[in-house]
Amino acid sequence: MATHDTLTLCPFVKHPFSECVIKTITGSSIPQITRFCMADYPLCPVYQKEHGIYEINDACKVPLQTFQHASET
């Protein structure tokens, strides 16, 4: 019996945000595309920004936005 692996893609691959790396495919953007436009799309800085996630993402070490927590003000 043959098994088929499935490929998980970002739900916005077909209609990407203006900042998505997939909009401008170059040799240097391929590593980001293969990481952030596939199974790891929840870790993508653009995806997180569009979904209001502003914490620093430890998995990819990308600071998404500098902010202060309400408890720090």
Question: Would residue 59 count as lying in a domain?
Answer: yes
In a domain, 1, yes or no: no
The answer as to whether 32 is a domain residue is no
Q: What percent of the chain has pLDDT over 90?
A: 18
**Does residue 54 sit within a domain?**
yes
* 3 vs 60: which has the higher pLDDT: 3
pLDDT at 63: 43
Query: What pLDDT is stored for residue 37 in this prediction?
Result: 92
Burial class (CB in 10 A: 0-12, 13-18, 19+), 57: middle
Domain of residue 62: give its range.
40-66
Q: How many domains does the chain have?
A: 1
Taking only the tens place, the pLDDT of each residue in 21-51 is 998 888 998 999 999 998 899 999 999 888 8
Q: Is residue 20 part of a domain?
A: no
Q: Please indicate, yes or no, if residue 34 is contained in any of the structural domains.
A: no
Residue 15 lies in a domain: no
Q: What integer pLDDT is reported at residue 1 of this predicted model?
A: 52
